[in-house]
Amino acid sequence: MTASAVEPQRIRFDAPLALSSGASISDYELVYETYGEPNADGSNAVLVCHALNASHHVAGVSSLDPDDIGWWDNMVGPGKPVDTRRFFVIGVNNLGSCFGSTGPMSINPATGKPYGPDFPVVTVEDWVHSQARLADRLGIDRFAAVMGGSLGGMQALAWSTLYPERLRHCVAIASAPRLSAQNIAFNEVARRAILTDPEFHGGRFYDHGVVPSRGLQVARMIGHITYLSDDSMAEKFGRALRDNAERAQPGDYRFTFDVEFEIESYLRYQGEKFARYFDANTYLLITRALDYFDPARHAGGDLSQVLGKAHAAFLIASFTTDWRFAPERSREIVQALLKAGRRVSYAEINAPHGHDAFLLEDPQYHAIIRSYFERIAAECAAGGDRE
């Protein structure tokens, strides 16, 4: 069962928001959606933070497009693990993204033209502060939970230390306390593909009526490889040839650099689709926010010292075949939380789909999230804090 059509909403913020970089942004908008209803004391609100290419449209059918189902619709909705008959769920598009909130494609009031490369570099912490302002406007003092997968999980972690009083639970799935050199390396290759595309025009491609689609395609193809496990790719595609039945002899190679294998066709399709809807400047900004996330860096690398500021209880989950943010990365968070004396549950889920598993409907995974949120709902019903 999927919730009925969801209307995106929009709030404008006039007061300048000071950013990690030292810059600030004023007069910006955030687009968000809500699912379910707030309870009397507002204790049932859940904030869902999105990852690289997702948006505020978390669940249900968009009122703008009946084919546009939310990116976490299997997780959030009536009767689903995060049950919107009990919880008031909020999805928000992050500052700098390209799905309606103010970002590089928006008009810069100072110039009357799109911000493009002049949009300030934003960090995970900046997003959290902007989300806190949104919560203020919606009258939410304290979230029952802040949750997310991957980069969304990093935002949930940052919430727990920046606004310790404002969330009772922090749910970080398939996440990491910081990127590794290899993670940064993949981001950097993707950025180079975009930055060196002649149609990028230093980020001012909007003025030229073009899109650096070749760079975006390559960036997305690289991303896709890191989202899938080696095994799931082998199972789904293996070495199967494209249009094999149409070949003179099945299994014959065509000896060309055009599509030969199914995996090539899949990656090209994903790359081309992405280049049609995603903004190149946003891709740079969001991968940089990933690179920069490192909450322990001002604590001499001691993550437990930072997480010791948190008051929330934590659910940390990882997937065995995720090699982008492998279980070890989640275990590092868990160990720091334990060292800091925080309440933490940890699930290492045996799932074949790599990093993408956090978006998929795995029974074991969903059962864990469901029972965790049932516990939260019971707390809400019992009148809140039992920490």
Q: Which residues are catalytic?
A: 150, 322, 355
322, 354 in Cβ contact below 8 A? yes
Q: Which stretch binds a second copy (CB under 8 A): 95-103, 131-139, 256-264, 378-386?
A: 256-264
Q: Work out whether 221 is an interface residue with a second copy (CB under 8 A).
A: yes
Nearer to a second copy, 59 or 228 (CB): 228
Binding to a second copy, residues 261-290 (CB under 8 A): 261, 263-264, 267-268, 271, 284, 288
Q: Work out whether 250 is an interface residue with a second copy (CB under 8 A).
A: no
Measured CA distances, 359 to 5, 98, 191, 344, 356 (Å): 21, 20, 24, 22, 6
Helix%, strand%, coil% for the chain, nearest 5: 40, 20, 40
Q: Which stretch binds a second copy (CB under 8 A): 62-70, 102-110, 250-258, 334-342?
A: 250-258
Binding to a second copy, residues 97-156 (CB under 8 A): 120-121
Question: For the stretch 53-69, what's the b/e string if a residue is b when 16 or more beta carbons lie within 10 angstroms of its beta carbon?
Answer: bbbbbbbbbbeeeeeee
Q: Work out whether 189 is an interface residue with a second copy (CB under 8 A).
A: yes
Q: What does the chain come to in residues?
A: 387
Q: Work out whether 184 is an interface residue with a second copy (CB under 8 A).
A: yes
Please choose, from the candidates 126, 153, 32, 165, the residue with its C-alpha nearest in 3D space to the C-alpha of residue 88.
Answer: 32
Measured CA distances, 56 to 249, 263, 347, 380 (Å): 49, 30, 26, 25
The only residue of 204, 214, 242, 339 in contact with a second copy, by rule CB under 8 A: 214
DSSP string, 301-355: T-HHHHHTT--SEEEEEEETT-SSS-HHHHHHHHHHHHHTT--EEEEEE--SSGG
Smallest separation, CB 384 to a second copy (Å): 38
Bridge partners for 349 per DSSP: 319
Nearer to a second copy, 61 or 285 (CB): 285
Which phi and psi (to 5°) does residue 43 adopt? -90, 0
Q: If binding means CB under 8 A, how many residues of this protein chain bind a second copy?
A: 57
Q: Work out whether 260 is an interface residue with a second copy (CB under 8 A).
A: yes
The only residue of 18, 238, 276, 350 in contact with a second copy, by rule CB under 8 A: 238
The only residue of 40, 110, 257, 382 in contact with a second copy, by rule CB under 8 A: 257
210, 369 in Cβ contact below 8 A? no
Q: DSSP class of residue 43?
A: T
Bridge partners for 47 per DSSP: 90, 146
CA distance 87 to 145: 10
The only residue of 12, 113, 208, 239 in contact with a second copy, by rule CB under 8 A: 239
The only residue of 15, 198, 243, 244 in contact with a second copy, by rule CB under 8 A: 198
Q: Which stretch binds a second copy (CB under 8 A): 1-9, 21-29, 106-114, 333-341?
A: 21-29
Q: Work out whether 96 is an interface residue with a second copy (CB under 8 A).
A: no
The only residue of 297, 361, 381, 386 in contact with a second copy, by rule CB under 8 A: 297
290, 180 in Cβ contact below 8 A? no
Burial label for 152, CB within 10 Å (0-12, 13-18, 19+), is: buried
323, 229 in Cβ contact below 8 A? yes
Nearer to a second copy, 89 or 193 (CB): 193
The only residue of 29, 68, 118, 291 in contact with a second copy, by rule CB under 8 A: 291
Q: Work out whether 1 is an interface residue with a second copy (CB under 8 A).
A: no
Site string for a second copy, 22-51 (x = CB under 8 A): xx----------------------------
The only residue of 253, 363, 382, 383 in contact with a second copy, by rule CB under 8 A: 253
What is the binding site for a second copy (CB under 8 A)? 20-23, 120-121, 178-182, 184-186, 188-189, 191-193, 195-198, 214, 217-218, 221-222, 224-225, 228, 230, 233-234, 236-239, 251, 253, 255-257, 260-261, 263-264, 267-268, 271, 284, 288, 291-292, 294, 297-298
